[in-house]
Amino acid sequence: MHTLAGDLFRKMLPDSKIAAKFSVAEIRSTYFMKFGVTVHTKRMLVNRVKGSSPFVVMFNESLDKSNQEKQMDIHV
């Protein structure tokens, strides 16, 4: 069974035997991204911003309604 996560790992690590055999159900990979990678990335970003000199936070919200429902870009 091929999953998006498995395909990504195979591209990132083409010589890895583990990545070649990696498989995970989509619901589990969604959970991993939402409660693992996202939380970790947010924590890293907050720590780096807190430890930096003065900063500015800007956000870019598209006027396109469909894009507004999908993402918000934040620039620090």
Question: pLDDT tens digits, residue range 19-69?
Answer: 898 887 777 777 877 888 888 888 998 888 888 888 777 776 667 666 666
pTM of the model: 0.44
Confidence at residue 45, expressed as pLDDT on a 0 to 100 scale: 85
**What phi and psi values does residue 44 have, to the nearest 5 degrees?**
-60, -45
DSSP letters along 41-53, please? HHHHHHHHHHTSS
* Predicted local confidence at residue 14, as pLDDT: 93
pLDDT given for residue 11 in this prediction:
92
Asked if residue 5 lies in contact with residue 25, where contact means CB atoms within 8 angstroms, the answer is no
d(CA 70, CA 12): 26
Q: Which two tokens stand for residue 40?
A: 């970790």
In this prediction, residue 50 carries a pLDDT of 86
Which spans in 1-76 are helix H? 4-12, 17-21, 26-32, 38-50, 65-68
